Amino acid sequence: MSFINVENISKTFKVAQRKSGLKATLKSFFKRKYFYIEAVKNISFQIEKGDIVGYIGPNGAGKSTTIKMLSGILLPDQGKIEINNMIPALDRQKYVANIGVVFGQRSQLWWDLPALDSFDLLKNIYKLKDDQYQKTIQELIGLLELDNIVQIPVRQLSLGQRMRCEIAASLIHNPSILFLDEPTIGLDATSKQIVRNFIKRINKERKTTIILTTHDMNDIEALAKRIILIGKGQVLYDGTIKHLKQKYGNYCNVIVTTKNILKTTNKKGIISKEKITDGYIFKIDINQITVSEFLKYLATKVKVDDVEINNESIDDLIIKLYKEFEI
């Protein structure tokens, strides 16, 4: 039995239909039509204790619905979730004492007060002992570089500072599972780095199981060995990020500025070529040709003035997966 067991869970929502125009509006005033959205369809996976898993997918894929079910806010319509031998939504009070959740878009801190006040309240909510609380809080403040920050009213903090406080707040009670919903959204590079290092460290030291949702590919590559990719409510892929890239192509966009005209390119690994005003955009498969090989090859054909290299985003990968699964 794994630490986290998710078996065939599904969830459907009922949504009211809206149409435009006076007539349609008047009509729906008297009779309203509904349709159903299957947010999550038959998802299963297991996660072991101490793992870091990236739970990723495009907007509306069913990510936050799954997180809500895993954290005990929602009960699945069908299927079963068992975490640490508890059923989250049914054993709520007992279960949540052992998890921490950070919603990037939603704050659990008191806006007008220093974060330290919020921490004190959380201490009472989680019924923590004084000495243990003091020890944890000092450790968190040190690791997240929050020394002076926790004394300032939250509304005066920068986004990065606030997010670090949010993360500290979710770890005060030493949870064994941490859910991070877009923890780096909108952060500057320094804050991102602090957050990532911190996540790695607590995972290593405390064996905290971490489930991370994000749109930032770099988060995933820095943190998660395993990803679960979902789209339209279904699991599209479950495995390592490396394997995913090998399997579905590790593409890279190379934007080349050149005044020359390039007629033909027939080298293995070049997927596509597109002409733009002052050059070309190439899509190449890194599994077949490295960037430097490609550039060397290109230099034999044209005079390259400038190059820009962009890694393919996870969203592009998902679009490819959609095509493959025909959904």
Read off φ and ψ for residue 182, nearest 5 degrees: 50, 60
Q: CB of residue 159 vs other proteins: minimum separation in angstroms? A: 18
Alpha-carbon distance of 100 to 173, in angstroms, equals 8
Beta bridge partners of 299: none
Alpha-carbon distance of 75 to 64, in angstroms, equals 13
- What end-to-end distance do the CA atoms of the chain give, in Å? 32
Q: CB of residue 281 vs other proteins: minimum separation in angstroms? A: 36
Binding pattern for the stretch 127-166 against other proteins, x by CB under 8 A and - elsewhere:
x-------------------------x-------------
Nearer to other proteins by Cβ, of 74 and 230: the residue is 74
Beta bridge partners of 15: 35
Q: CB of residue 244 vs other proteins: minimum separation in angstroms? A: 30
Asked whether the beta carbons of 239 and 227 are under 8 A apart, the reply is yes
* Token digits of residue 221: 């590559």
Of 192-211, which residues contact other proteins (CB under 8 A)? none
Of 74-133, which residues contact other proteins (CB under 8 A)? 74-75, 77, 89, 92-94, 96-97, 99, 101, 103, 106, 108, 110-113, 117, 120-121, 124-127
Strand ordering across the sheet containing 251-257: 270-276, 279-285, 251-257, 306-311
* Token digits of residue 151: 């004394």
Indicate whether 33 belongs to the interface with other proteins (CB under 8 A): no
Read off φ and ψ for residue 126, nearest 5 degrees: -90, 5
> Of 54, 72, 269, 279, which one interacts with other proteins (CB under 8 A)?
72
- Taking CB under 8 A as the binding criterion, the range among 64-72, 141-149, 297-305, 319-327 that sits at the site for other proteins is 64-72
What is the contact surface with other proteins in residues (CB under 8 A)? Answer: 11, 13-14, 18, 21-22, 25-26, 28-29, 32, 65, 68, 71-75, 77, 89, 92-94, 96-97, 99, 101, 103, 106, 108, 110-113, 117, 120-121, 124-127, 153
